[in-house]
Amino acid sequence: KKVSIMPPDGPTDWASREVQANIMASGSPLRQVPVLVVGGVPFAESLAIIEYINAVYPGPPLIPSNPIAVAQCRQFCCYVAAFIHSNQGNNDNMEVGMENLELLAASTAGRHIIGDVVTMAECFLVP
């Protein structure tokens, strides 16, 4: 689901190419969605899919160019994947997780989670 909310101004050819058609459960090595199949090679995790699309398709980057911002962005995404999405339905853990995300974002945020541009952090935040 995280991949499905990539911003429309993110990689410009996202919606119009075979990428969208190739996201399907049948090719997933983990039998889950999302999955992106490129040249017969399946990628079944949002982080891998977003990084591939970011590298291959033109448009505003979803991964910052500054190495510190890249690390902050990945830290945020990893935390969301490990602690927020895995604890859905557990309100106590979810509340602590959201408080921790606010602490992470407080040190990195500008207009968006990581600085002033949309990054993959926004894609990961919404389950």
pLDDT tens-digit profile of 57-111? 888 899 999 999 999 999 999 888 887 766 666 667 777 888 888 898 898 889 9
pLDDT at 127: 56
E strand or H helix at 29: none
Distance separating alpha carbons of residues 10 and 59, to the nearest angstrom = 6
Distance separating alpha carbons of residues 60 and 40, to the nearest angstrom = 27
Whether the per-residue pLDDT at 7 is higher than 50: the answer is no
Distance separating alpha carbons of residues 36 and 24, to the nearest angstrom = 7
pLDDT at 16: 44
pLDDT at 64: 92
Q: What are phi and psi of 64, to 5 degrees?
A: -60, 160
Neighbours of 68 (CB within 10 A): 10
- Which of helix, strand or coil describes residue 89? coil
Please say whether the beta carbons of 123 and 6 come within 8 A.
yes
Which one-letter amino acid corresponds to residue 3?
Answer: V
> In 37-107, which residue ranges form alpha helices assigned H by DSSP?
46-56, 67-79, 91-106
pLDDT at 68: 94
pTM score, two decimals?
0.68
